[in-house]
Structure 1
Amino acid sequence: MKIDEIKQQVEAYKAAGKSLFTTSSFQSHSLVLVHILSKIDNTIPVYFINTGYHFPETVRFRDYITELFKLNTIDLKPDVPKFMQRDPEGRLLFTSDPDHCCHLNKTQPMDAILLAHDVWINGVRADQSAIRAAMKVEQPAKHGCLRFHPMLDWNARMIWLYQKEHNLPKHPLEEKGFVSIGCEPCTRKLDPEMQEREARWFGMNKIECGLHTDLINK
């Protein structure tokens, strides 16, 4: 969607009395959507899913961008404490069951947010994975919430051009070789033989956390 089309759709949702929110990982490419939304309505809640495992650089960058864009950023934390997130051998789940770890720390906390809002403005792009390529601009989510994917037809070059035009900051770990940045225990620098999102869960044959598989109705 073009920027003016995104604005028109967001304003149409608001005029219809819909409660809107977005989420952001505060990676460099994620800033395009929150920057666009900040120009439309910077009171729209921006939920940062704070797993407790983020790089310190990500948390500091979140705070910096929140102030720079004047965002309404809200920390969303898991309900299950870390001492209960262990397998039968006592290991933290990210070492043995990363899918369940993601469920507890990312997917499950979203339940209350979906219940409280009507529209989730989500920045997924079709060029990121086959799963995302199969999505539509509007799709139902859990609890009667609607997912709105305004960036679905954007590609990496379009993101780069927007970043350049608006002089958007870059996540500080990018200059150290990190491209897809998630939780610190699982994220690695991008290897030439990897696909971009494989670096998020190094060696785990995993490219999605559940936010875009479990929280979407086909």
Structure 2
Amino acid sequence: MVSCVEAQSRNPLQSTPRLDFDPSQLDLTELNRRFESATPQEILAWALATVPNLVQMTSFSMGAITHMLYHELQARIPVIFLDTLHLFPETLQTAEKAKHFYNLELHTYRAAASRDDFIAQYGDRLWERDVDRFHQVTKVEPMERALEELSAQAWITGRRRDQSANRQIMPILERDPHGRLKINPLANWTHKDLWRYTFAHHVLYNPLHDQGYTSIGDQPLTTKVEAEEDERAGRWRGSIKTECGIHN
């Protein structure tokens, strides 16, 4: 993988940051065509050099993008973490480790101050009664609040095309429903690419991956995955649901 200096000097798409940056003025068709052969580091370096208010969204499952940003590219940008109050203890522990290891500018958003407060407001086991409402309250609304409060003009995700059928045609650059730029630097990476980078660079990752969990979300809605199953088969098992709502 390229280092910080290499990514900055080799990136053919690098530009000067603009205070009047407007995502709607970007030619995403052309940029996506050119980025298909770029490395994630080159895509991130372009974003850092182009977007004034850039943030990363992370679930603290796999830490490749955070490592690229904070270690390789030496970029200190806001990192958004959505604590749904229903996460695995291992996820919260990984978040705390990453915060201190990288000295993250971490912004944690929740739907309520505590699990008890959440139950008092929305009732217990909301995910069983209305899973869409559960995700709207715990993820979508906190995410929109985070992006608005941080004045984000673009946000980085860790999605990949090989994760599921509905992500196979995902572009590297897209616009969210509010017109913000949405950046998927790992779009054309495979599951093996991600783990190869993780091991080669000693990147922090959620230890639940070592216990048979390949995609990690809320504890009551996440199960282990068998070897022959898709990576995200353990999410919403027995349901036709494939996304929590923040990427719909």
Q: TM-score interval w.r.t. the shorter chain?
A: 0.7 to 0.9
RMSD, aligned CA: 2.0
Which stretch of the first structure deviates more once superposed, 2-11 or 140-149? 2-11
Q: Which deviations, in whole Å up to 9, do the C-alpha atoms of 1:124-169 show, x marking residues without a partner?
A: 1111122222221111113331101111111112111111210223
Identify the residue that residue 119 of structure 1 maps to in structure 2: 154
How far 1:187 sits from its partner (Å)? 1.1
Contact 1:47 1:76 in 2 (8 A): yes
Q: Which deviations, in whole Å up to 9, do the C-alpha atoms of 1:79-127 show, x marking residues without a partner?
A: 69332324xxxx5221122122111101111112333210111111111
Alignment counterpart, residue 64 of structure 1, candidates 69, 89, 97: 97
How far 1:188 sits from its partner (Å)? 1.1
Identity of aligned residues (%): 31
Alignment counterpart, residue 57 of structure 2, candidates 23, 35, 41: 23
Q: 2:90 and 2:45 mapped to 1: Cα distance?
A: 34
Alignment counterpart, residue 203 of structure 1, candidates 225, 228, 238: 238
Alignment counterpart, residue 43 of structure 1, candidates 76, 95, 100: 76
Q: 2:118 and 2:160 mapped to 1: Cα distance?
A: 32
Contact 1:38 1:69 in 2 (8 A): yes
Mark the runs of 5 or more structure 1 residues left unpaired by the alignment: 214-218
Contact 2:155 2:183 in 1 (8 A): yes
SS in 2 for 1:204: coil
Q: Which deviations, in whole Å up to 9, do the C-alpha atoms of 1:159-216 show, x marking residues without a partner?
A: 1111121022332222222221111111111134642212122222222101111xxx
Q: 2:93 and 2:131 mapped to 1: Cα distance?
A: 25
Q: 2:171 and 2:182 mapped to 1: Cα distance?
A: 9
Q: 1:104 and 1:7 mapped to 2: Cα distance?
A: 30
Contact 2:163 2:230 in 1 (8 A): no
Pairing 1:2-151 to 2, within 5 Å after superposition: 2-14=39-51, 18-27=52-61, 30-39=62-71, 40-78=73-111, 81-86=118-123, 92-115=125-148, 116-151=151-186
Which stretch of the first structure deviates more once superposed, 51-60 or 73-82? 73-82
Identify the residue that residue 159 of structure 1 maps to in structure 2: 194
Mark the runs of 5 or more structure 2 residues left unpaired by the alignment: 1-37
- What is the TM-score with the length of structure 1 in the denominator? 0.85
Identify the residue that residue 18 of structure 2 maps to in structure 1: none
Q: Which deviations, in whole Å up to 9, do the C-alpha atoms of 1:42-84 show, x marking residues without a partner?
A: 4211111100000111101110112112221111112693323
Q: 1:42 and 1:66 mapped to 2: Cα distance?
A: 14
- Rg larger for: 2
Contact 2:44 2:185 in 1 (8 A): no
Contact 1:42 1:71 in 2 (8 A): no
- What is the TM-score with the length of structure 2 in the denominator? 0.75
Q: 1:194 and 1:8 mapped to 2: Cα distance?
A: 34
SS in 2 for 1:185: helix
